[in-house]
Amino acid sequence: MQGRLTVTRPFMVGSVILALSGMAGCTALFTGPVEEGETFDQPLPGLTRAQQLAFARGDEAFEKAFSVKEGLGPIFNQPSCEGCHAGDGRGHPRTNLIRFGRNAGGVFDRLDTEGGPQLQERAIPGVAPETLPAHANAISVRSGPPAFGLGLVEAIPDAVILAGTDPNDANGDGISGRPNMVVPPDWVGVPQTPSVGRFGRKAGVAFLFQQVANAYHQDMGITSDVLPNENPHPVNGTLGDDAPDPEVSRATIDDVLFYLRTLAPPKRGPVTPEVKRGEQLFQQIGCASCHTPSMKTGTHPTIAALSQVDVPLYSDLLLHDMGPDLADNFVEGEAGGTEWRTAPLWGLRLVGDHLGGTHFYLHDGRTSDVREVIQSHGGEAAQARTRFFGLSKQDQDALVMFLLSL
């Protein structure tokens, strides 16, 4: 039960989180003036004045840390979005959240009546935090993925993503990407038909709106016009907190949604000859078979900046079996216990700037060493891994330089 061990790590240290979120809003780690495209908090170009104002409101709401008086909890993980998406980049492993369930004999149980599938390991005064049920054996430790570029990700048509699937590995390259087809809950207000999941580490969510409303409710214990009832406590049932429900309005959810939709990905770093060579090697050894360099958006009904643009995310947004080192045994929609959505690689060069210079790669932020990341790639990625470690030291370095130019 290796997964159980990871849970005992000290992942909640209040003062560190405060220090981190204090750093996150500004650019304290930069010494000179910050150039456009060098941080994660800038809007896409071409927003109207009204859209710029919505962006600014959403930015503020994303940073806001809720107090107990304002409705935090009763059970929660962190008091702000920003706390787990530092500087709009990824989360520090100290703020990792845990999903759990029981996976036995091929049957997966989310343990809904025992507080599953998400562990809220913090609580307001007078309320007991959740603890892991003893028989939970599928424990998925996850760090917050970067928050930029998600409107572009959402605007890629299902058909474009589905064109990259190869469920039976017809082309014989050992790689068989498949989509996580998910039916959204009725409160999302879209047709209850299967859509291509694309958000979350296992692509379990198809719509950004769902991700935002759910994050308020599950991660912070903040009720909204969308989800007006507090998350039930597994032992004590429904408990209140100090604030009347709903604790935020639909307008706030919409502002944060707009903010995330229009938060631009950072600019690509300089493409030196070494970086160019690294990119060719990345293609040649099969990394790009999953880390698709770019996909194109469709026509967006309201935000011109999201229409018909190339999205250089370096992901196919599909699920892949990544082998035992990365497995969590946790089932989410159609994603099994060894499957993960290909992690987008854009912004890798800047991710560390918001985390004290450390990258914290992979779904749980377990390592900051790119070679260890590649070493952990098994399953469908095993061939690419073997080819990487068969390269000369110089070529390996060029490939790593390429990754850190994104």
Left, alpha or beta for 366 (phi > 0: left; psi -120 to 50: alpha)?
Answer: alpha
**Binding site residues, ligand HEC, CB under 6 A:** 77-78, 81, 83-85, 91, 95, 97, 142-145, 147, 150, 175, 199-202, 204, 208, 211-212, 215-216, 219-220, 256, 260, 285-287, 289-291, 320, 322, 326, 340, 342-343, 345, 361-363, 370, 373-374, 377, 380-381, 384-385, 388, 403
- Least distance to ligand HEC from the beta carbon of 360, Å? 8
Q: Which of 73/83 has CB closer to ligand HEC? A: 83
- Least distance to ligand HEC from the beta carbon of 389, Å? 9
Q: Which of 305/404 has CB closer to ligand HEC? A: 404
- Least distance to ligand HEC from the beta carbon of 67, Å? 15
- Least distance to ligand HEC from the beta carbon of 238, Å? 21
CA torsion angle 284 287 289 292 (round to 10): -110
- Would you mind telling me the total number of residues written for the chain in this entry? 406
- Least distance to ligand HEC from the beta carbon of 140, Å? 8
Q: Which of 233/363 has CB closer to ligand HEC? A: 363
Residue 268: which residues within 8 A CB-CB, separation 6 or more?
A: 312, 405, 406
Give the burial string for 320-345 (b: 16+ CB within 10 Å, else e): bbbbeebbbbbbbbbbbbbbbbbbbb
- Least distance to ligand HEC from the beta carbon of 76, Å? 8
Q: Which of 81/239 has CB closer to ligand HEC? A: 81
With 0-12 CB in 10 A as exposed, 13-18 as middle and 19+ as buried, what is 387? middle
- Half-sphere exposure of residue 110, counting CA atoms within 13 Å on the CB side? 10
Q: Which of 49/231 has CB closer to ligand HEC? A: 231
Q: Could you tell me which of 91, 120, 99 has the C-alpha nearest to residue 17?
A: 91
**Cα separation of 22 and 41, whole Å?**
15
- Least distance to ligand HEC from the beta carbon of 220, Å? 6
Single-letter amino acid, residue 295: M
Please say whether the beta carbons of 103 and 329 come within 8 A.
yes
Q: Which of 219/353 has CB closer to ligand HEC? A: 219
Q: Which of 164/234 has CB closer to ligand HEC? A: 164
**Cα separation of 138 and 331, whole Å?**
8
Single-letter amino acid, residue 275: V
Tokens 């060894």, residue located? 338
Q: Which of 260/306 has CB closer to ligand HEC? A: 260
- Least distance to ligand HEC from the beta carbon of 157, Å? 17
Tokens of 247: 């604790």
**Cα separation of 145 and 272, whole Å?**
28
Q: Which of 41/134 has CB closer to ligand HEC? A: 41
- Least distance to ligand HEC from the beta carbon of 33, Å? 27
Single-letter amino acid, residue 346: W
Give the burial string for 85-98 (b: 16+ CB within 10 Å, else e): bbbbbbbbbbbbbb
Q: Could you tell me which of 72, 118, 67, 122 has the C-alpha nearest to residue 241?
A: 72
- Least distance to ligand HEC from the beta carbon of 318, Å? 8
Q: Which of 49/253 has CB closer to ligand HEC? A: 253
Max Cα–Cα distance, the chain, nearest Å: 62
